[in-house]
Amino acid sequence: MEYTISTLVENHAGVLARLAQLFSARGFNIVSLTVAETDDPTMSRMTIVVEGDEKVMEQVKKQLNKSIDVVKVYDLTGKNPLVRELCILKVKATPTHRSEIIEIVDIYHASIIDVSHQDVTIEATGETSKVLGIIKLLKPYGIKEIVRTGKVALARSLNI
């Protein structure tokens, strides 16, 4: 099963390496990992997506909570969190296919962020399924380069 954990950590050197080692030592493959400073420059938020079973994930959460660098651990698994991913794609765009590519970009509410005679560079943001969808549709045109951020996730507000 895939687990999504959002962790608030102290923002200083070595934290990422120590926490990644914690997952590695237990044989987990990190599917996605993003880290960035929060509104408080002394804190960073790590969004970690891993695969494993429930028993082992409970152990990992306990170990995360024991780490001196960790301020708070949020298990977002099964809680319908807000999840987004960023993808930048450079796609071959001949004059005959350029309008088709632009139509796909519009359908996915993505943006063209750079254009040349040979290609267009596209920024797509959204749930992973949206990112995978636009990649699949653009693949036949020839994807020259691709970069993805991995998932970022945040719990939904409870005030409905």
Q: What is the pLDDT of residue 76?
A: 92
Superfamily name and number for 82-154: ACT-like. Chain A, domain 2 (3.30.70.1150)
Q: What percent of the chain has pLDDT over 70?
A: 98
Q: What is the per-residue pLDDT for 8?
A: 94
Domains 2-75 and 82-154 share a fold: yes
The secondary structure element, H or E, covering residue 123 is strand 119-126
For the entire predicted model, the pTM comes to: 0.83
What is the rounded CA–CA span in Å between residue 143 and residue 64? 38
Q: Is the distance from CB of 88 to CB of 113 less than 8 angstroms?
A: yes
Residue extents of the structural domains in the chain: 2-75, 82-154
The predicted pLDDT at position 159 comes to 54
Give the DSSP H or E segment for 62.
helix 54-66
pLDDT computed for residue 103 by the predictor: 97
Query: Beta partners for 92?
Result: 119
- The CATH code that applies to domain 2-75 is 3.30.70.260
